[in-house]
Structure 1
Amino acid sequence: MQRKRVVKERVVYVLDYMREGNPLDKHKFHRDKPLIQAVGEDYFLLLELTPLSYNLDFFPEDKIELDSNSSVKVDAHISYEDLTSVSKDNLPKILHKIVSEKEKVFVEIFNKAEPLTLKLHALELLPNIGKKTLRLILEERRKKPFESFKDIESRIGVKDVASILVERIIKEMQGGEKYYLFVYPLISDENKRLEQQFIYVGYIEKLK
Structure 2
Amino acid sequence: MPDSRPPRRETVARILDYLPYGHVSEAITSYQKRPLVQAVGEGNFVLMEMTPKEGVVPTVGQRVNLTARDVIERVNRRITYGDLTNSAKLELGYEIQKIVLDNEDRFIRYFNEAGPITTRMHGLELLPGIGKKLMWAILNERKKGPFRSFKDLSERVKGLHNPEKLIAKRIEEELMDDRIKYRVFTAEPKEPRPAETRRRP
TM-score, length of structure 2 as denominator length: 0.84
Q: What CA distance in whole angstroms lies between the structure 2 residues aligned with 1:20 and 1:65?
A: 23
Give the match for residue 109 of structure 1. 110
Letter in 2 for 1:160: N
Shift in CA distance, 99/50, structure 1 to aligned 2, threshold 3 Å: same
Q: What CA distance in whole angstroms lies between the structure 2 residues aligned with 1:25 and 1:67?
A: 28
Give the match for residue 171 of structure 1. 173
SS of the residue corresponding to residue 132 of structure 1 reads helix
Letter in 1 for 2:67: D
Aligned length: 182
SS of the residue corresponding to residue 15 of structure 2 reads strand
Q: What CA distance in whole angstroms lies between the structure 1 residues aligned with 2:56 and 2:71?
A: 8
Shift of 1:70: 4.7
Aligned partners of 1:123 and 1:134 also within 8 Å: yes
Q: What CA distance in whole angstroms lies between the structure 1 residues aligned with 2:184 and 2:26?
A: 29
Give the match for residue 42 of structure 2. 41
Give the match for residue 60 of structure 2. 60
Give the match for residue 3 of structure 1. none
SS of the residue corresponding to residue 36 of structure 1 reads strand
Q: What CA distance in whole angstroms lies between the structure 1 residues aligned with 2:13 and 2:38?
A: 10
Seq. identity, % = 36
RMSD: 2.2
Say yes or no: does 1:133 pair with 2:134: yes
Shift of 1:118: 2.3
Deviations 1:55-100 (A, max 9, x none): 1011111111111545320111111011001101111111111011
Q: What CA distance in whole angstroms lies between the structure 2 residues aligned with 1:25 and 1:95?
A: 29
Find the partner of 1:189 among 186, 192, 197.
192
Shift of 1:172: 0.2
Shift of 1:180: 0.7
Letter in 1 for 2:184: L
Aligned partners of 1:19 and 1:35 also within 8 Å: yes
Deviations 1:34-57 (A, max 9, x none): 00000001100000001131x101
Q: What CA distance in whole angstroms lies between the structure 2 residues aligned with 1:163 and 1:114?
A: 20
Shift of 1:163: 1.2
Letter in 2 for 1:94: E
Letter in 2 for 1:177: I
Consecutive unaligned residues of structure 1, counting only runs of 5 or more, are 1-5, 194-208
TM-score, length of structure 1 as denominator length: 0.81
Q: What CA distance in whole angstroms lies between the structure 2 residues aligned with 1:20 and 1:83?
A: 15
Letter in 1 for 2:42: E
Q: What CA distance in whole angstroms lies between the structure 1 residues aligned with 2:109 and 2:70?
A: 31
Shift of 1:25: 6.4
Aligned partners of 2:18 and 2:58 also within 8 Å: yes
Give the match for residue 159 of structure 1. 161
Letter in 1 for 2:175: M
Letter in 2 for 1:185: E
Give the match for residue 197 of structure 1. none
SS of the residue corresponding to residue 93 of structure 2 reads helix
SS of the residue corresponding to residue 37 of structure 2 reads strand
Counting helix residues as a fraction of each chain, which structure ranks higher? 1
Q: Compare CA radii of gyration and give the structure with the larger one.
A: 2
Q: What CA distance in whole angstroms lies between the structure 2 residues aligned with 1:146 and 1:19?
A: 44
